[in-house]
């Protein structure tokens, strides 16, 4: 949110102008120079105009500085690269002032639309600037006829809290690095970050829910906090990641997610939707293995994801088209068509490998609907009961309890034993 404050220096300028005009007029008369009063007043106004039209030295210095094309901290700055040259200058001015946590500083523009655009780009590129992310008001003080302003972002945390949060961020980075196997490829690193955040955070509203402080400091956030945390951790691992905001179909609520580059292809990553502890029916959440991790939102099929979420049109984002890093594709769990024997054998194979969760996906709605009707809605449940009997024989059990979960929009089905 942005609010304007009325110029605070106008009255002072008028007073100084009157004093200066009186002094100049006195000096002119004492010097014995001739000329009409009109000519004298013109000279006075020209001198005064030259003084007051002059920009503050800080603004002049900003205009003379070169624009860094890359970030010293190693951030990708996707949105920075979408800006024009003058907007990039403002971006660097904002970044410098916010990094130093200055209460107010100059920008070399007074155009509110441009300031809004650049500020949004900056926040999307820099998740580490958490102290300006959470519902703080931003003020600009502009001056009539001047092409600069004073910018005052609202800050959230004390210096001590900033240190605590930054330490928590560093600890999270170290923990994630320790979880990544030696020689892991980019996908494995992305998967590790995705699972780590879901295991260590809870979807909940709080005073810190819009930024990474909510995730790393309090362990609670909403979609903006999750998406910024994914971006932060992946960029620490030198993996290009773009923070995205947009809309949810059939809802007035917005949503935030990420676009990640893996082996030259772009994929959606939505850790928020991956954290659904109540996803499975009944009391299945008591089971330990992957009880909160829904891998459907790790590189989902783009055409399915886009049926629900649409990116904001404020900035263009890369098109996602690839599917080969989809969790089900990588694990042989995506079926082009439905055949009972093939699906039964897949479930048995997963149980043979020690899995407590059996999950699979279909490419088309018709096959998914048929499996849903036969394996879940059917009165006899004979299809899933075949798998349950196999499970009992595998472990020498006389009974077994199982639960299921369904993601209709992604055409996936889960069974937990």
Q: Which one, of 335, 328, 332, lies nearest residue 300 by Cα?
A: 328
Residue 268 pLDDT > 90, yes or no?
A: yes
**Residue 3 pLDDT level (bands cut at 50, 70, 90):** very low
pLDDT for 96-135, tens place per residue?
Answer: 999 999 999 999 999 999 999 999 999 999 999 999 976 6
SS3 381: coil
| Residue partners of 62: CB distance under 8 A and separation at least 6 | 89, 93, 106, 107, 108
Quickly tell me which residue has 């009157």 as its tokens.
18
Tell whether 317 and 272 lie within a shared domain.
yes
Which of 26-35, 96-105, 391-400 has the weakest average pLDDT? 26-35
- Looking at every residue in the chain, the average pLDDT score rounds to 85
Structural domain total, the chain: 4
Instruction: Look at 30 and 401; give whichever has higher pLDDT.
Output: 401
Regarding whether 322 and 234 lie in a shared domain, the answer is: yes
Residues 163 and 263 in one domain: yes
Higher model confidence: residue 265 or residue 15?
265
pLDDT in the model for residue 301:
98
Would you state the structure tokens that stand for residue 304, as one six-digit string? 């399915």
* CATH classification of the domain holding 222: 3.10.620
Predicted confidence (pLDDT) per residue in 331-357, tens digit: 999 999 999 999 999 999 999 999 888
Q: 189 near 233, Cβ under 8 Å? A: no
pLDDT band at 291 (very low <50, low <70, confident <90, very high): low
**Strand locations in 108-175 (E):** 138-142, 149-153
What percentage of the chain reaches a pLDDT higher than 90? 69
Say whether both 317 and 170 belong to one domain.
yes
* Long-range contacts, 165-171 (Cβ 8 Å, 24+): 165/130, 165/212, 165/213, 165/216, 165/217, 168/213, 168/216, 168/217, 169/128, 169/212, 169/216, 169/232, 171/216
What is the helix (H) or strand (E) element at residue 119, kind and residue range? helix 112-125
45 and 64 assigned to the same domain:
no
Clarify whether residues 251 and 195 are in a common domain.
yes
Q: Which of 48-57, 62-71, 163-172, 370-379 has the lowest mean pLDDT?
A: 48-57
Same domain, 326 and 345: no
Kindly report the pTM of this predicted structure.
0.84
Give the burial string for 191-213 (b: 16+ CB within 10 Å, else e): bbbbbbbbeebebeebebbbbbb
Q: Residue 34: give the domain boundaries.
A: 2-52
For residue 55, what pLDDT is reported?
Answer: 86
Q: Which of 315, 330, 345 is the last residue of a domain?
A: 330
Contacts of 356 (CB under 8 A, 6+ apart): 287, 288, 289, 290, 416, 417
Whether residues 179 and 248 fall in one domain: yes
Residue located via tokens 């928020």: 272
Q: What's the rounded Cα separation, in Å, for the pair 15 and 373?
A: 82
Confidence of residue 290 (pLDDT cuts 50, 70, 90): very low
Same domain for 100 and 176? no
* Residue pLDDT, tens place only, 201-210: 988 888 888 8
Interval 391-417 mean pLDDT: 90
Q: Is the pLDDT of residue 46 over 80?
A: no
Predicted confidence (pLDDT) per residue in 127-180, tens digit = 999 999 766 778 999 998 899 999 999 898 999 999 999 999 999 999 999 999
Please check whether residues 100 and 171 belong to one and the same domain: no
Please, which residues have CB within 8 angstroms of residue 28's CB and are 6 or more apart in sequence?
A: 35, 40, 43
259 secondary structure, DSSP code: E
What is the per-residue pLDDT across 77-102, written as a single tens digit (0 to 9) for each? 999 999 999 999 999 999 999 999 99
The answer, yes or no, to whether residue 27 has pLDDT greater than 70, is no
Q: Is the pLDDT of residue 365 over 80?
A: yes
The answer to whether 314 and 246 are in contact (CB under 8 A) is no
Residue 280 pLDDT > 70, yes or no? no
| Helices 159-179/223-236 angle, 10° precision | 60
Residue 13 has pLDDT above 50, yes or no: no
pLDDT category of residue 378 using cuts at 50, 70 and 90: confident
User: Considering 119, 153, 187, which residue would you say is the last residue of a domain?
Assistant: 153
Q: Do 316 and 347 sit in the same domain of this protein? A: no
DSSP letter (8 states) at residue 172 = H
Last residue of a domain, one of 153, 188, 221: 153
Is it the case that residue 5 has pLDDT exceeding 50? no
Do 168 and 317 belong together in one domain? Answer: yes
The pLDDT value given to residue 416: 85
- Mutual orientation of helices 57-64 and 85-99 as an angle, nearest 10°? 120
């Amino acid at each position: 949110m942005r609010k304007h404050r009325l110029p605070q220096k106008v009255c002072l300028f008028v007073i100084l102008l009157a004093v200066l005009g009186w002094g100049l007029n006195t000096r002119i008369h004492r010097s014995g120079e001739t000329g009409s009063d009109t000519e004298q007043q013109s000279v006075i106004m020209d001198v005064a105009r030259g003084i007051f039209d002059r920009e503050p030295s800080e603004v002049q210095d900003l205009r003379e500085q070169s624009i860094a094309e890359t970030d010293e901290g190693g951030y990708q700055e996707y949105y920075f690269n979408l800006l024009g040259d003058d907007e990039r200058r403002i971006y660097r001015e904002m970044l410098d002032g916010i990094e130093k946590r200055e209460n107010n500083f100059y920008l070399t523009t007074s155009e509110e639309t441009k300031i809004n655009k650049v500020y949004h780009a900056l926040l999307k590129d820099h998740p580490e600037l958490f102290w300006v992310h959470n519902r703080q008001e931003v003020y600009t003080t502009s001056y009539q006829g001047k092409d600069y302003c004073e910018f005052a972002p609202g800050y959230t945390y004390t210096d001590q809290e900033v240190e605590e949060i930054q330490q928590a961020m560093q600890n999270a980075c170290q923990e994630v690095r320790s979880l990544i196997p030696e020689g892991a490829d980019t996908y494995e690193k992305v998967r590790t970050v995705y699972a780590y955040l879901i295991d260590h955070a809870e979807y909940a509203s709080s005073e810190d829910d819009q930024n990474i402080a909510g995730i790393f400091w309090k362990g609670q956030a909403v979609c903006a906090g999750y998406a910024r945390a994914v971006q932060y951790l992946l960029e620490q691992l030198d993996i290009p990641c773009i923070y995205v905001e947009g809309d949810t179909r059939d809802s007035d609520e917005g949503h935030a997610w990420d676009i990640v580059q893996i082996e030259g292809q772009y994929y959606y990553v939505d850790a928020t939707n991956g954290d659904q502890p109540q996803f499975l029916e009944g009391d299945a959440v008591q089971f330990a293995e992957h009880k909160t991790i829904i891998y459907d939102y790790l590189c989902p099929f783009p055409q399915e994801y886009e049926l629900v979420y649409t990116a904001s049109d404020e900035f263009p984002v890369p098109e996602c088209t690839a599917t080969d890093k989809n969790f089900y594709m990588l694990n042989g769990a995506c079926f082009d068509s439905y055949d009972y024997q093939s699906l039964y054998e897949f479930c048995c194979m997963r149980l043979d490998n020690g899995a407590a969760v059996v999950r699979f996906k279909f490419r088309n709605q018709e096959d998914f609907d048929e499996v849903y009707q036969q394996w879940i809605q059917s009165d006899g449940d004979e299809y899933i009961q075949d798998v349950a009997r196999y499970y009992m024989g595998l472990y020498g059990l006389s009974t077994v309890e199982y639960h299921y979960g369904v993601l209709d929009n992604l055409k996936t089905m889960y069974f937990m034993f």
